[in-house]
Chain A
Amino acid sequence: MTDTKTVILDGAMGTMLQSRGLRPGEKPEIFALSNPQAVEEIQRDYVKSGSRILYSNTFGANRRKLDGTGHSASDVIKENIAIAKRASSEAPGTRVALDIGPIGELLSPLGTLSFDEAYDIFKEMVVAGADAGADLVVFETFTDLQETRAALLAAKENSTLPVWVTMSFEADGRTFTGTTVSCMAVTLQGLGADAIGINCSLGPKEILPLIKEMRQWTDLPLIAKPNAGLPDPATGSYFITPEQFAAEMEPFFELGVHATGGCCGTSPAFIKALSEKASHYGSKSEQARRNGICSSSSMAEYGRTHLIGERINPTGKKHLKQALLEHDMDYIMKLAIQQADAGADILDINVGIPNVDESLLMKEVVQAVQSVVRLPLMIDSSKAEAIETGLRYACGKAIINSVNADDAKLEEILPIARKYGAAVVGLAMDRKLPTTVKERLEHARKIVSRAEKAGISRQDIMIDCLTLTVSAQQDQALLTLEALRRVREDLGVHAALGVSNIAYGLPDKSHITCAFLNLALYNGLDFPIINVNSQDIMDTVTSYRALNGQDIDCKQYIERFAQQQTMAQSTEKHENSEGISLEEAIIKGLGQEAEKATSKLLETMDALDVVNDRLIPALDKVGEQYEKHLIFLPQLINAANAAGRGFDLIRKKLPKSSDASKGKIIIATVEGDIHDIGKNIVKVVLENYGYDVIDLGKDVPVNTVVERTIEENARLVALSALMTTTVESMRRTIEALKKSGHDCKVMVGGAVLTEEYAHQIGADFYTKDPKESADTARRVLGK
């Protein structure tokens, strides 16, 4: 179907300006302020060549890049939009797009720029562009999907202009940060982009297969703005002619791509050739054939079974509750990595504990989890605010868990789902639990109809038919399964289901859980919410996938069970090996053996005696060996880790009242620095010496260090900095700590520091290695 005519965009600006006096390294946006004529002439040339949308010369006009130029983003944008508007008068109907590129710094956790700051930077640009009279906003050349999301949200929340988004890919279909074409398309369509596509980095030939793939994942209008082929690596110059370029662009017109133009290496001549070639074609829109749940790089496509890992949910989990209260993100990241390694396709995130700000905690946990795994997320909360926060920071297209058929709930949650393009789990209940299939179906129908009215596609709805405990309500198990089958067949929506509840109160839960899971899968459950760490459950899923043909040639089945056989053999071998002493286990860095030896000692010794008479002396010996160069760093850490396994066991044995902790230590990599490996080494060693280490992470603001030190009443603060440039913020942190009047000592470490340098910046102690940090801790904390 032909909707409208293909739109011709413009070509390169930077290279064109170089021929008009722009020096290398000079910013084109600033150059325009003193040479408006040069920019206007180039843009007029583009319009004369057929461009009907001009991109303003504002690609890098963000406040970070303009810092130090003496110009504000807003002024630079207003001036450049005015230039483009003058040029657009060359042909009536020509529109001006506010052009915005990436900020130029990577977002945390890779870089130091926060999502909120990025949002704010884009907001400033969008507001200025809209005020100056831009007709639309174009974000282009993005490579990080999270930064792109910040940009798109900033545009959508602060203007009414249409927003187009194009990203740059490598020939393998991924951006530098790993975003795939499918994840980009699904995420940005969900977030409300008006058109999406690909620009820069590659030529038309390389972009064509990627645009074809994008077509499958979105029904939005598509944009292609390729470079003039691939450049010579040494000189950066391009070779193909305007005619070749236009010929290579022809397949894009045949695909019905909505807007085409050129990026690096193109000129008005290219646009003219392109425009002539395009004159016979129209833009087509097609129903997207594929869809799913995704992160920036991992797609759980609809049509298969996807496992949702349920472990990040504090209900009934003491340790996780504690970790959430203490903001111990390491613990939560471990849970995330373990589930990813065990085979989860999606992770459920629930941080609902009493007396905390659930939104803030949700933000912290979502960001921590995303920094170590690249799986899509399910945002699980009973509070609308926490759900919205989770969706805002979750990169990709997430799932909301959950709504139900209660009117108030639907009104509250569905608009949030619509805004962020999330899928929704609908519990087949209202304020009370259903008892029949019919009731469940009625609730499901209501949810589907209300969701569709709210603008959510039926494809993005998952109904949860509710698992009730079989030991209490025996008749319900089969009814749940029947309702599940009907929901899938009659309503054509997906099914999500938490299965663990079935076994509540029964012995040896795994048998009944697996049997129920099998039946549910057979009845069409495609989004089971399960404990992926359970071997029995994963065995069940693996077998099911082999039986229903999703596991082609039973490959995964064979891999899993062949591996389990070898593993069983190797454990046997280990268990036959003779037990060794705790000291030897620690010195050799053997965690399992250290745990066994500790457990044996605990049979005859008091727990605290094991710590003081065995564990600590063994660690001391290790430290001594390290000082004498008898062992080196990996061996020191392995030993510390082995001791840690012993400690963990002892902590479990100790009655609550007794305190094995030897004192609190605050540890942080200072503001502006993101090197945290040194800090983490010291942390592991200190923890395994029995200190209570509170890790504030990397790039930690001065105030945060001071506040947390006072809040925790810590007597020792350990700071790390690896760069000469960040030692200055170390100095400021120490100064602020001293000024606060809080009684504490500061020890510092890091590659560029020396004893002398450390004292110059006011530190009490310089520690050259992890061993010395443990010695210093003992000196200061007296244990």
Chain B
Amino acid sequence: MEALLTDIPEKEVLRYLGHDRQIIDTDLKAQIERCINSVKSSSRPRLTYTVREVKDGIINGLDLGGNDIKILLSSCKQAIIMAATLGPEAEQMLRRAEVLNMSDAVILDSAQSTAIENVCDNFEAMMRQKYKEEELYLTDRYSPGYGDLPMESQKKILDILFTEKRIGLTLTPSNIMVPRKSVTCIIGISDQKQRLVLRGCANCTLNRNCSYRKGGLCHD
């Protein structure tokens, strides 16, 4: 399936930047727009996924560890396992900005994070639509680092998806995905309607130290 980057909403970019009602003058607005446009025009997002059977909350051949994922998948017979990346182009763009203009770099960084989220959102929406036609329902997206799903499960996910070969996504020995603007996730498929509750602060990798959460401004 083609990875689609359709939009980088400024509002989301500002959220990543910790924006809290501060006044944005025309120069800064232009800077933010320029950064968003350069991420849009130069990213080459890619994704790969597979659908696997689930039994008792465990994905066939992919025991990821942790209890929360089992709860998420408790009513599911199948699960989608997905990995997406913005690619190394994004990485080099950021590196150049870090040398030339650090404030461009932080804005680009936020725009890229927003962009990879958008790619995941588009994928999820397409899948939701596809399964809806079969009267099946999807759970929330769930990623390593959420709840008690260990970071070490990242490797298992990348291996099972052959991400190195399929989308050029690898892992360093400290479990950092490279290229860095990459996401992996699990989405359960169930014949029962799902309460979409798991997104938000409790299930976010940054939950221990997030300035948005401290300000009470995060997405929930």
> Which A residues fall within an 8 A CB radius of B?
23-25, 102, 104-106, 109-113, 141, 143, 168, 175-178, 200-201, 233-236, 330, 333-334, 337, 371-374, 588-590, 629-635, 637-638, 640-641, 672-677, 680-681, 684, 723-726, 729, 751-754, 769
B167 and A176 contacting across the interface, CB-CB below 8 Å: yes
**A-B pairs with beta carbons under 8 Å apart, 27 shown:** A104-B170, A106-B178, A111-B172, A141-B165, A143-B168, A176-B88, A176-B168, A177-B168, A234-B49, A234-B51, A235-B51, A337-B99, A629-B22, A635-B22, A637-B103, A641-B102, A672-B172, A672-B173, A672-B174, A673-B176, A674-B178, A677-B94, A680-B98, A684-B102, A725-B151, A751-B209, A752-B209
6 closest A-B pairs by CB: A176-B168, A637-B103, A672-B174, A684-B102, A24-B61, A111-B178
* B160 CB–A CB distance under 8 Å: yes
Q: Known contacts A105-B171, A589-B27, A629-B22: does B176 contact A235 (CB below 8 Å)?
A: no
A233 and B209 contacting across the interface, CB-CB below 8 Å: no
CA distance A582 to B76 in the complex (A): 63
CA distance A588 to B22 in the complex (A): 13
B1 and A634 contacting across the interface, CB-CB below 8 Å: no
CA distance A725 to B167 in the complex (A): 24
Interchain CB contact (< 8 A) of A681 among B51, B106, B164: B106
Give the residues in chain A near B87, CB-CB below 8 Å: 176
A633 and B17 contacting across the interface, CB-CB below 8 Å: yes
* B71 CB–A CB distance under 8 Å: no
A726 and B174 contacting across the interface, CB-CB below 8 Å: yes
Q: Known contacts A110-B91, A631-B22: does B28 contact A638 (CB below 8 Å)?
A: yes
Q: Known contacts A105-B171, A178-B89, A753-B209: does B180 contact A634 (CB below 8 Å)?
A: no
A676 and chain B: residue at smallest CB distance: B98
Give the residues in chain A near B20, CB-CB below 8 Å: 629, 632
B25 and A632 contacting across the interface, CB-CB below 8 Å: no
Task: Tell me the residues in window 144-173 of chain B with beta carbons closer than 8 Å to chain A beta carbons.
Answer: 151, 156, 159-160, 164-165, 167-168, 170-173
B100 and chain A: residue at smallest CB distance: A337
* B6 CB–A CB distance under 8 Å: no
* B218 CB–A CB distance under 8 Å: no
* B101 CB–A CB distance under 8 Å: yes
A684 and chain B: residue at smallest CB distance: B102
Interchain CB contact (< 8 A) of A25 among B61, B103, B106: B61
Give the residues in chain A near B1, CB-CB below 8 Å: 233
Give the residues in chain B near A674, CB-CB below 8 Å: 172, 176, 178, 180
A372 and B92 contacting across the interface, CB-CB below 8 Å: yes
Interface of A is mostly: loop
Beyond the given A112-B174, A372-B99, A681-B102, could you list 10 further A-B residue pairs with CB under 8 A, ordered by the A residue number?
A24-B61, A176-B167, A178-B88, A201-B165, A233-B49, A234-B49, A235-B51, A590-B27, A634-B28, A725-B175
B174 and A725 contacting across the interface, CB-CB below 8 Å: yes
Give the residues in chain B near A111, CB-CB below 8 Å: 170, 172, 178
CA distance A20 to B64 in the complex (A): 25
A105 and B206 contacting across the interface, CB-CB below 8 Å: no
B95 and A24 contacting across the interface, CB-CB below 8 Å: no
* B11 CB–A CB distance under 8 Å: no
- Most chain B beta carbons < 10 A, residue from A234, A588, A726: A234
Interchain CB contact (< 8 A) of A677 among B100, B105, B208: B105
- Most chain A beta carbons < 10 A, residue from B32, B96, B156, B167: B96
Q: Known contacts A233-B1, A629-B22, A637-B102: does B92 contact A23 (CB below 8 Å)?
A: no
User: How does the 8 Å CB contact mask read for B70-108 relative to A, with 1 for contact and 0 for none?
Assistant: 000000000000000001110110111011111101110
CA distance A334 to B49 in the complex (A): 39
Q: Known contacts A110-B179, A723-B174: does B156 contact A638 (CB below 8 Å)?
A: no
Say which size band chain B's interface belongs to.
35 or more
B164 and A110 contacting across the interface, CB-CB below 8 Å: no
Interchain CB contact (< 8 A) of A104 among B28, B46, B103, B164: B164
* B50 CB–A CB distance under 8 Å: yes
B176 and A105 contacting across the interface, CB-CB below 8 Å: no
Give the residues in chain A near B178, CB-CB below 8 Å: 105-106, 110-111, 674
CA distance A200 to B21 in the complex (A): 51
Q: Known contacts A24-B160, A681-B106: does B99 contact A333 (CB below 8 Å)?
A: yes
A632 and B174 contacting across the interface, CB-CB below 8 Å: no
B175 and A723 contacting across the interface, CB-CB below 8 Å: yes
A330 and B99 contacting across the interface, CB-CB below 8 Å: yes
* B18 CB–A CB distance under 8 Å: yes
A172 and chain B: residue at smallest CB distance: B44
A641 and B103 contacting across the interface, CB-CB below 8 Å: yes
Give the residues in chain A near B211, CB-CB below 8 Å: 769
In whole Å, how far is A105's beta carbon from the nearest beta carbon of chain B?
5
CA distance A24 to B106 in the complex (A): 40
In whole Å, how far is A359's beta carbon from the nearest beta carbon of chain B?
24
Interchain CB contact (< 8 A) of B28 among A113, A233, A333, A589: A589
CA distance A477 to B171 in the complex (A): 57
Give the residues in chain A near B209, CB-CB below 8 Å: 751-754
B1 and chain A: residue at smallest CB distance: A233
In whole Å, how far is A591's beta carbon from the nearest beta carbon of chain B?
10
Interchain CB contact (< 8 A) of A109 among B89, B95, B174: B95
A25 and B172 contacting across the interface, CB-CB below 8 Å: no
B95 and A372 contacting across the interface, CB-CB below 8 Å: yes
A25 and B159 contacting across the interface, CB-CB below 8 Å: yes
- Most chain A beta carbons < 10 A, residue from B20, B32, B49, B91: B91
A334 and B100 contacting across the interface, CB-CB below 8 Å: yes
A112 and B105 contacting across the interface, CB-CB below 8 Å: no
CA distance A641 to B97 in the complex (A): 13
* B19 CB–A CB distance under 8 Å: yes
* B194 CB–A CB distance under 8 Å: no
CA distance A494 to B22 in the complex (A): 58
In whole Å, how far is A116's beta carbon from the nearest beta carbon of chain B?
16
In whole Å, how far is A463's beta carbon from the nearest beta carbon of chain B?
35
A634 and B103 contacting across the interface, CB-CB below 8 Å: yes
In whole Å, how far is B207's beta carbon from the nearest beta carbon of chain A?
10
CA distance A168 to B167 in the complex (A): 11
A372 and B174 contacting across the interface, CB-CB below 8 Å: no
CA distance A430 to B8 in the complex (A): 60
Give the residues in chain B near A769, CB-CB below 8 Å: 211
In whole Å, how far is A669's beta carbon from the nearest beta carbon of chain B?
11
Give the residues in chain A near B98, CB-CB below 8 Å: 676-677, 680
B92 and chain A: residue at smallest CB distance: A372
In whole Å, how far is A390's beta carbon from the nearest beta carbon of chain B?
21
Interchain CB contact (< 8 A) of B176 among A23, A168, A201, A723: A723
A680 and B22 contacting across the interface, CB-CB below 8 Å: no
Give the residues in chain B near A590, CB-CB below 8 Å: 27
B175 and A632 contacting across the interface, CB-CB below 8 Å: no
CA distance A321 to B18 in the complex (A): 40
CA distance A234 to B50 in the complex (A): 5
Task: Tell me the residues in window 87-142 of chain B with beta carbons closer than 8 Å to chain A beta carbons.
Answer: 87-89, 91-92, 94-96, 98-103, 105-107, 109
CA distance A337 to B17 in the complex (A): 26
Give the residues in chain A near B170, CB-CB below 8 Å: 104-106, 111
In whole Å, how far is A28's beta carbon from the nearest beta carbon of chain B?
13
Give the residues in chain B near A675, CB-CB below 8 Å: 176, 180
* B203 CB–A CB distance under 8 Å: no
In whole Å, how far is B114's beta carbon from the nearest beta carbon of chain A?
14
Give the residues in chain A near B25, CB-CB below 8 Å: 588
In whole Å, how far is A199's beta carbon from the nearest beta carbon of chain B?
11
CA distance A330 to B100 in the complex (A): 9
In whole Å, how far is B144's beta carbon from the nearest beta carbon of chain A?
11
CA distance A333 to B100 in the complex (A): 9
In whole Å, how far is A290's beta carbon from the nearest beta carbon of chain B?
25
CA distance A234 to B98 in the complex (A): 38
In whole Å, how far is A125's beta carbon from the nearest beta carbon of chain B?
17
Give the residues in chain B near A677, CB-CB below 8 Å: 94, 98, 105-106, 109
* B31 CB–A CB distance under 8 Å: yes
Interchain CB contact (< 8 A) of B206 among A234, A337, A751: A751
In whole Å, how far is A421's beta carbon from the nearest beta carbon of chain B?
25
